[in-house]
Amino acid sequence: MFRHYLTIAIRNLLKDKLYSWINVLGLSVGLVLVMMILLYLQFEYSYDDWHTQGEQLYRVNIRTHRADAQGEESHVFTPPIGPDLQVEFPEVEAYTRISTEQPAFLSHQEEAMQVDGIHYADTSFFTLFDFSWLAGDARTALARPNTMVLAMPLARRLFGEEDPMGKSVVLDNQQQYEVTGLVAAPPAHSHLQFEALLSFSTLYQDSERFMGWNGGNQYITYLLLAENSSPAQLEEKLPPFMWRHINEGLKPYGVQLEARLQPLRDIHLWFNPDSPALRTRLLAFGAIGLLILL
């Protein structure tokens, strides 16, 4: 039976070659496009799904409410919110903080080079997130002030084939940092991208930096919630917490801040909850793929 159908198909192809080849070409192009769309969707939806504790990790976002304006949501805030949340709520098992990108000049013996992907991070950063560790101790590499962890591409730029461990790197021709760890470059499907991480404790040595609740809001906080803890129930407890620490002082200015928890695996697709452009684009690509198949 199969041979019979195959024979008929071949005869039809030979009967009208141009029409048949147009159909075959169209089908092939359609299948290639569908495969490309599927691979693209798979990549976008795989962001941050490789962290072993990913289901328990949440980013603290802050929504600003003003009497004369619609609330705006941001993922940066002042440093104390993570430590204070851990102290006051048993649901918070651990926290880690990372600064926004701090471009600077780094040098090792030779001329300084500009590096964009520099961040300050807590020592707990590598115990909450599973980046590929190459040298050093992930638990303690950022424990001391003036220490740093390099991603391997930057380590090669600075040191060539020389072993960077224990060596010094100068930041902006001023501060010296000891290299205490090496990691592989962050995967492309990670929303956390960096070239070098400097110890967060270094920030507390600078008296000109404001690290309290009224300090600089260029820090991102992640929480590791205890197993079986409900992020929704924790969020319900946060308004009194925010009132005690900051909102009471902001009341005369007509500003109130709302702390919200965003699941780690939602961050890439919902980077800005008020403007879900990426998710809308992915749904559009999926619809196009279905139309091609039909």
Q: Quick one: pLDDT at residue 208? A: 58
Which range of residues forms the domain containing residue 251? 54-267
Residue 258's DSSP bridge partners are 63
Q: Quick one: pLDDT at residue 20? A: 64
* Residues 63 and 208 both lie in one domain: yes
- Whether residue 242 is predicted with pLDDT greater than 80 in this model: the reply is yes
CA distances from 60 to 69, 95, 152, 164, 257 (A): 22, 10, 29, 34, 12
Strand 168-171 to strand 118-121: parallel, antiparallel, or no bridges (unpaired)? unpaired
Domain count, the chain: 2
* Residues 287 and 143 both lie in one domain: no
Q: Give strand ranges (E) for 108-250.
A: 113-115, 118-121, 133-136, 147-151, 168-171, 175-183, 196-199, 219-225
- Which H or E run includes 241? helix 231-242
* Residues 135 and 174 both lie in one domain: yes
* Residues 35 and 101 both lie in one domain: no
* Residues 199 and 257 both lie in one domain: yes
A 10 A CB-CB count for 4 gives 8
A 10 A CB-CB count for 275 gives 11
Q: Quick one: pLDDT at residue 163? A: 96
* Residues 86 and 20 both lie in one domain: no
* Residues 199 and 241 both lie in one domain: yes
Two tokens, residue 191: 């929303």
Residue 97 lies in a domain: yes
Residue 117 lies in a domain: yes
Q: Write out pLDDT tens, residues 130-140.
A: 999 999 999 99
Two tokens, residue 257: 């801040």
* Residues 43 and 158 both lie in one domain: no
**If you average pLDDT over every residue of the chain, what do you get?**
88
- Whether residue 60 is predicted with pLDDT greater than 70 in this model: the reply is yes
Task: Give the mean model confidence (pLDDT) for residues 156-162.
Answer: 94
* Residues 77 and 159 both lie in one domain: yes
Residue 79 lies in a domain: yes
- Whether residue 288 is predicted with pLDDT greater than 70 in this model: the reply is no
Helix (H, G, I), strand (E, B) or coil at 195: coil
* Closest alpha carbon to 60 in 201, 187, 219: 219
- Whether residue 90 is predicted with pLDDT greater than 90 in this model: the reply is yes
**Do residues 245 and 258 lie in contact, with contact meaning Cβ atoms separated by under 8 Å?**
no
* Residues 6 and 89 both lie in one domain: no
Two tokens, residue 279: 């998710």
Q: Quick one: pLDDT at residue 284? A: 66
* Residues 215 and 95 both lie in one domain: yes
- Whether residue 21 is predicted with pLDDT greater than 70 in this model: the reply is no
Q: Quick one: pLDDT at residue 30? A: 72
- Whether residue 276 is predicted with pLDDT greater than 60 in this model: the reply is no
* Residues 259 and 144 both lie in one domain: yes
